A and B are shown apart, each in its own frame.
Chain A
Amino acid sequence: MKFAVKKALSSSGARVGVLEVGSCPAPIETPALLLATRKGLPHFISPELLPSLPSPDSNLLQVSPLHFLEGLSTTTISKIGGLHQMLGLKQHGIAAVPRDSIQCLPESKAATRLGASFETPCGRLLIKPKDYIEMISCMKPNIWASLADEVPAWVSEKRNKTSVDRTLRWLDDCISLYPAAGSIFGAIVGGTSLEERKRCAEEVAKRNVSGYWIGGFGLGEGIDERPALLREVMDILPDEKPRLTCGLGLPEEILQGIAAGIDLFDSTYIYSLTLGGFALTFSLDKSGEQHNLQSDQIGSDSTKINLRATAYRKDMSPILENCTCYTCQNHTKAYINHLLNVHEMLAQTLLEIHNTHHYLRFFHVIRGAIQDGSFEEFRQAFLESRREHFKGEAIST
């Protein structure tokens, strides 16, 4: 894995970088989105349709090793030759992170000094560093996060401190057990304590890691608490190594993370939208303005549409007129509305494609704004017009 910062803004922590990983066909520009997966493949997008997404933007995947505990032994994964081979995704970059924010959630109450605890579809699991390393060495991801003891925002100071101590100890275990191949990203936790965040970041920065995984977010802290916490961490971390985070999924949160200096994001937003029958329609205008009206939308502009609504029953237009995704190029809102009504899985497939495509384009526009030096203006315009839109919606309903 190789990473280099191409342009950093002085006004904020935002930077554009380039990531070369594995056998990806081309270097990937950051800030970038990692696609969420279930057992290595997208939830609904078939491997045949994955290439229809923008490349190489869509070539980064986040995989949770814990998914495979349900039915696939590490011996077998080894025999097959690792994740890339097993998933038929040889040209993709895979980042292994235990937490997937959907089904494998950190359960801080059950963690012990021996290992981190997760609630999973197989029940509550205690993952020890040794077991984790065994999974990683069989799976051979390009990037992997060290094992972390993530705690929600409301734990005691003592518990929070313990989580940092454990996370650092496990990082050292991970490094010593598996010093060779695959790029290790040191996990940084610390909850909502500025001091603990600083302490953790300082310690991790001392270790020989290829990048940083900033954990402990999306676990109950307020969105306004984050900038300070992020800044505390970023100020310490060296600029030249990439930063990956978990739990910052909404557009506002992505912008917040980018402003602080995060390069790689996973997001469960797309999955939640897809399950709910929603399609993203927010504007991808370079200015960040969200007031652009769609010419054939019913009513005002919107950030997303609910395709279950009967209003779309006869709407023979695509989700977004200028969208080049497979769904918008081939299907109409009426068809997706029908599929949702009759509970056909193709609805989720088509929505996941569109939403992923749209979000990847969002990242693309952001990168453009950073390059232009207009990121802060973009962010302000985006946030303000979105806020106004939501305010307007709240009042009218």
Chain B
Amino acid sequence: MALHFEILGRFNRARAAQLTLPHFVCQTPLFMPVGTQGTIKGLANNELERIGCQIILGNTYHLALRPTSELLEEAGGLHNFMNWPRAMLTDSGGFQMVSLLHLADITEEGVTFQSPVDGKPMLLTPEESIQIQNRIGADIIMALDDVVKTTITGPRIEEAMYRTLRWIDRCITAHKRPHDQNLFGIVQGGLDPELRDICVKGLVDRNLPGYAIGGLAGGEDKDSFWRVVAQCTAALPEDKPRYVMGVGYPLDIVVCSALGADMYDCVYPTRTARFGTALIPEGVLKLKHRAMADDTRPIDPTCPCMVCKNYTRAYIHCLVTKDAMGSQLLSYHNLYYMMRLSRNLHTSIVEGRFPKFVCDFLQTMFPKGDVPEWVCNAMEVAGIDISSCCATFPSCQEKYSSDEIGTNRFDKVKIEI
């Protein structure tokens, strides 16, 4: 084990902690930006530090292709290669493989696919994935899991869950650097509580440094999503970090943190920036919209970032989708927003004002009080009273039993200004 996880504050299930990794001491809850190919699109390291990024993610699949894990090893690891002084996490490569390559196939051996470089048949095994990640050298590495989309039903999910457990043993055996790289296991099992339970128990038995909740953020309805997170966080050990993979919408992060998760990653903030969308407390702001052309306010008047302090919506409007600088500035702001959210989650829990933070957050995002039902349900389980933010949905204001199913009228959580 190469990490130290110390809880500094709590509110019911939510926790704020200090996560000490080989390269950096982090505060959780935290969001990890995705630096797919060894860079966070368009932003330099000193900007990332200024923004407050603590851990960045590298994608093993992409890096193994270019510049290759062997070169990274020669360079002394990805940290050295990109000169990133803080912490890093690499995924196993499995997800990209399955989502990016149409001819990928999963067998007991591993993931077979056609090399995108020369079309040759290739195989990514748990052993190979760990070896590549050992060479890349990130603080946290992910086990190769058998990922299945949550929209799929049937025996495939059970097969995948058990295979994930068999693969974790192979990953553990293959891992050559347990003293400076932390291998996280990933809980699978689709939306089936029993399968999830078996997987959690299996992984916990292996006594890993940390655990991820995988297989979500792939199109399942929000009601199912939060229930899986709630179940897993309740069952995973208290004293180890919990990472919900692929979770990126600010609202989802707040809910998952209330339920007891600590770490998140998503391409959403940077990807949506490239399409001209800014993250703001009220939801999102589409800078491409004609109405922005003469709006001389900053993107977010409450945001102290370099972009909001210096630039108007009108100016950013004339840049977005047309000039590289537009993407850069919006990515900067969006990541700053996510880091600010992370800091606020951490501090509000430590300072004993987490429920108020959640209420203010929801009130700003849903000024009419139309907080989505799944959020109300989740907060109920998290033991956070958000009745002050919910105007129109009476069931938020009463004790709510987990047997009732909502109408899901409020699937759209973003509002546009």
Tally chain A residues at the interface, Cβ within 8 Å: 43
> Does B71 belong to the interface (CB within 8 Å)?
yes
| A-B contact number at CB 8 A | 128
> Does B39 belong to the interface (CB within 8 Å)?
yes
Nearest chain A CB to B330 CB, angstrom units: 12
Partner of A73, one of B62, B71, B293: B293
> Does A75 belong to the interface (CB within 8 Å)?
yes
Q: Within the assembled complex, what's the spacing in Å between the Cα atoms of A154 and B2?
A: 71
Nearest chain A CB to B5 CB, angstrom units: 31
Q: Are A43 and B325 in contact (CB under 8 A)?
A: yes
> Does B393 belong to the interface (CB within 8 Å)?
no
Q: Are B83 and A331 in contact (CB under 8 A)?
A: yes
Known A-B contacts A49-B47, A326-B44, A335-B81; A76 and B296 likewise in contact (beta carbons under 8 Å): yes
> Does A314 belong to the interface (CB within 8 Å)?
yes
Give 1 or 0 for each of B56-73: 1 = CB within 8 Å of chain A CB.
000000100011000100
Give 1 or 0 for each of A314-344: 1 = CB within 8 Å of chain B CB.
1010000000001000111011011101101
Q: Within the assembled complex, what's the spacing in Å between the Cα atoms of A3 and B293?
A: 38
Give 1 or 0 for each of B307-320: 1 = CB within 8 Å of chain A CB.
00111101101110
Q: Are B71 and A313 in contact (CB under 8 A)?
A: yes
Give 1 or 0 for each of A35-76: 1 = CB within 8 Å of chain B CB.
000110111101111000000000000000000101111011
Nearest chain B CB to A51 CB, angstrom units: 11
Q: Are A80 and B312 in contact (CB under 8 A)?
A: yes
Nearest chain B CB to A93 CB, angstrom units: 18
Give 1 or 0 for each of B285-302: 1 = CB within 8 Å of chain A CB.
000000001101000000
Nearest chain A CB to B49 CB, angstrom units: 11
Interface residues of B in 392-411 (CB under 8 A from A): none
Q: Are B44 and A346 in contact (CB under 8 A)?
A: yes
> Does B332 belong to the interface (CB within 8 Å)?
yes
> Does A79 belong to the interface (CB within 8 Å)?
yes
> Does A350 belong to the interface (CB within 8 Å)?
yes
> Does B38 belong to the interface (CB within 8 Å)?
yes
Q: Are B324 and A70 in contact (CB under 8 A)?
A: no
Give 1 or 0 for each of B323-345: 1 = CB within 8 Å of chain A CB.
11101110010000000000000
Nearest chain A CB to B301 CB, angstrom units: 15
> Does B234 belong to the interface (CB within 8 Å)?
no
The SS class assigned to the B binding surface is: helix
Nearest chain A CB to B303 CB, angstrom units: 14
> Does A88 belong to the interface (CB within 8 Å)?
yes
> Does A348 belong to the interface (CB within 8 Å)?
yes
Partner of A72, one of B42, B75, B315, B329: B315
Partner of A46, one of B41, B322, B332: B332
A69's nearest neighbour on chain B, judged by CB, is B318
A342's nearest neighbour on chain B, judged by CB, is B37
A49's nearest neighbour on chain B, judged by CB, is B44
> Does B238 belong to the interface (CB within 8 Å)?
no
Partner of A334, one of B37, B75, B296: B75
Q: Within the assembled complex, what's the spacing in Å between the Cα atoms of A332 and B38?
A: 13
> Does A181 belong to the interface (CB within 8 Å)?
no
For B74, the chain A residues whose CB sits under 8 A away are: 314
Q: Are A72 and B293 in contact (CB under 8 A)?
A: yes
A329's nearest neighbour on chain B, judged by CB, is B83
Known A-B contacts A76-B293, A79-B294, A335-B83; A47 and B310 likewise in contact (beta carbons under 8 Å): yes
B positions within 8 Å CB-CB of A: 37-39, 41-47, 50, 62, 66-67, 71, 74-75, 81-83, 293-294, 296, 306, 309-312, 314-315, 317-319, 322-325, 327-329, 332
Task: List 16 interface pairs A-B (beta carbons < 8 Å), by A numbering.
Answer: A39-B323, A41-B325, A42-B325, A46-B332, A49-B46, A49-B47, A70-B318, A72-B314, A75-B294, A86-B315, A314-B75, A330-B44, A331-B83, A335-B38, A339-B39, A344-B38
> 9 nearest interchain CB pairs?
A88-B310, A71-B318, A72-B318, A345-B42, A342-B37, A76-B294, A338-B67, A346-B39, A76-B314
Beyond the given A39-B323, A47-B310, A330-B45, please list 6 additional residue pairs across the A-B interface where CB-CB is below 8 A: A46-B43, A48-B332, A71-B317, A314-B71, A316-B75, A344-B37
